[in-house]
Structure 1
Amino acid sequence: MNASRAEQILKSPDTIGVKYRNNYVWIENVDKGRNTAYVTYLEKHNTVHVDIDQLEETGPMPQH
């Protein structure tokens, strides 16, 4: 993924699936200058700082 797409997902009103290391995450913040993002694991609820190019978009998520 690139920084522009990560920022689009962050600002989107839709819920778009994103994975980091095979786990679903929520993008909290994007730093385009450093090409990094803060993401929170949906299962564990811990936040980590990652390289944006390691994020994988999986598509729209079903609404609960």
Structure 2
Amino acid sequence: MDASRAEQIMRSPETIGVKYRDNYVWIEDIDKGRNTAHVTYLEKRNTLHVSIEQLEETGPVSYLH
């Protein structure tokens, strides 16, 4: 994923699925200068900074498991 798309997803009124290492995450913030995103694992609730390139969009979702 690129930084522009990550920002679009973060600001979208729709819920758009995003995975990091096969786990769903919520994009909290983006640092375009470093090309990183601050994300929260949805199941574990822990947060971390990751490379935006490692995020994978899975498409619109109506609910998350």
Q: TM-score range by the shorter chain?
A: over 0.9
What is the CA–CA distance in structure 2 between the aligned matches of 1:6 and 1:39, rounded to whole Å? Answer: 11
What is the SS of the residue equivalent to 1:33? coil
The match for 2:22 is 22
Q: Which amino acid aligns with 1:24?
A: Y
Aligned-residue offset at 1:62: 1.1
The match for 1:54 is 54
Q: Which amino acid aligns with 1:48?
A: L
List gaps (5 residues or longer) in structure 1: none
List gaps (5 residues or longer) in structure 2: none
* Runs of at least 4 residues off by over 6 Å: none
Alignment root-mean-square deviation, CA: 1.1
TM-score, length-scaled by structure 1: 0.96
What is the CA–CA distance in structure 1 between the aligned matches of 2:32 and 2:18, rounded to whole Å? Answer: 17
Percent identity, please. Answer: 75
How many residue pairs align between the two structures? Answer: 64
Q: Cα deviation per residue 1:4-34 (whole Å; 9 max; x = unaligned)?
A: 0000000000000000000000000001111
TM-score, length-scaled by structure 2: 0.95
